[in-house]
């Protein structure tokens, strides 16, 4: 009697970003073409494993999705199986139910595509016996053990294009334009987009700013005849001796703190201290949307294919990671033990300072 086909599951968790469909495609096509596996798509991240929402994926199902943004499987950043609310009831640990459902699906391995929250849960599930591997995605680029994450490059392009557009209106009206970007506690997105977009002041969480020094830069630019300025600020930034601006708290989320509003605060402070007109653009979820960049399509393809190979080799508890030019397997525990933040001595910061960019310090 021939052996039954192996079955691999794939899910996308946390916030969406460009490149997720490319990763799903890579896992599924590699499983089907290279390893002769059946593929099960888990809907809405870990919620699908708790509430039994899944679908078989054929080669045709994942054809033509490489360039599509988002994730056709859906995602959820509230579906933490260790603190899950079902039907509006009080949150509780449903990880044992999730394990039973995985066994019922007869999965030989699971690929979890996600950021810090999703992969932290994945590591906890691995320790409870779930055979899984991770694939890193997040526009924040804050996962350790990988040089870049899926979605980051696309978000940098979107943010840079927005900064480029703000340049023209800032110049026309002689204003200070403040643009607030995502990134939570890490400043990678703001740093890359700010440098690429020619931001005059770049403010990131890792380098608390001095409002007096920010204002001094803007006043000096104005005196030199530069009648507009661009300030690029991360949502997780804070003034020296101050705190981050919290927009709201979402109690049933894996990441309950919702940041937002620092752009308005610094614009008000700039107007009060300089007399210059300041306007704010909060880019928000635009940074997560749209088609993935060519780089993200390639990265997602490489990471997804490699993750499938790890499942086929039964090399679980690992994450597929970009290290230099190579894709390598790293331990999940190393990827999620803490977030990767920008070193204030980073070469990009040094180059930005050398060309006249201020970091408000």
- The Cα 190–Cα 330 span in angstroms is 27
Give Cα 88 to chain centroid, integer Å.
Answer: 28
Residue appearing with tokens 């300089």:
274
Q: Which run of H or of E encompasses 159?
A: helix 152-173
Given a contact cutoff of 8 angstroms between Cβ atoms, the answer to whether 299 and 153 are in contact is yes
DSSP letter string, 269-303: HHHHHH---EEEEE-GGGGG-SPPPHHHHHHHHHH
The one catalytic residue among 140, 200, 296, 309: 140
Catalytic site includes residue 343? no
- The Cα 48–Cα 60 span in angstroms is 22
Distances (CA, A) of 287 to 128, 155, 158, 185, 238: 35, 5, 6, 16, 21
Three-state DSSP state, 56: strand
Q: Which residues are catalytic?
A: 140
């Amino acid at each position: 009697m021939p052996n039954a086909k192996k079955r691999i599951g794939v899910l996308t968790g946390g916030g969406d970003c460009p490149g997720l469909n490319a990763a799903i495609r890579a896992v599924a096509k590699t499983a089907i073409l290279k390893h002769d596996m059946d593929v099960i798509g888990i809907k809405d991240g870990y919620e699908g494993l708790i509430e039994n929402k899944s679908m078989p994926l054929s080669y045709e199902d994942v054809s033509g999705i490489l360039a599509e943004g988002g994730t056709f499987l859906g995602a959820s950043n509230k579906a933490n199986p260790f603190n899950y609310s079902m039907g509006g009831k009080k949150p509780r640990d449903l990880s044992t139910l999730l394990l039973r459902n995985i066994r019922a699906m007869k999965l030989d391995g699971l690929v979890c595509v996600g950021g810090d929250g999703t992969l932290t849960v994945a590591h906890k599930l691995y320790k409870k016996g779930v055979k899984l591997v991770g694939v890193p995605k997040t526009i924040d680029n804050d996962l350790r053990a990988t040089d870049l994450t899926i979605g980051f490059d696309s978000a940098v392009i979107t943010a840079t294009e927005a900064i480029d557009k703000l340049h023209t209106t800032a110049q026309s009206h002689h204003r200070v334009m403040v643009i607030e970007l995502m990134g939570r506690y890490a400043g990678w997105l703001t740093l890359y987009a700010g440098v690429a977009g020619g931001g005059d002041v770049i403010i990131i969480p890792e380098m608390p700013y001095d409002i007096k020094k920010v204002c001094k830069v803007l006043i000096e630019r104005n005196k030199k005849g530069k009648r507009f300025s661009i300030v690029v600020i991360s949502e997780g930034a804070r003034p020296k001796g101050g705190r981050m601006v919290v927009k709201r708290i979402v109690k049933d989320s894996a990441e309950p703190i919702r940041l937002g509003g620092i752009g308005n605060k610094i614009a008000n402070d700039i107007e009060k201290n300089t007399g210059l007109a300041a306007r704010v653009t909060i880019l928000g979820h635009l940074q997560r949307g749209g088609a993935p960049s060519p780089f993200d399509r390639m990265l997602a393809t490489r990471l997804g294919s490699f993750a499938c190979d790890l499942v086929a080799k039964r090399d679980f508890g690992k994450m597929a990671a970009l290290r230099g030019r190579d894709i390598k397997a790293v331990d999940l525990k190393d990827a999620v033990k803490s977030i990767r933040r920008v070193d204030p001595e980073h070469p990009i910061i040094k180059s930005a300072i050398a060309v006249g960019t201020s970091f408000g310090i």
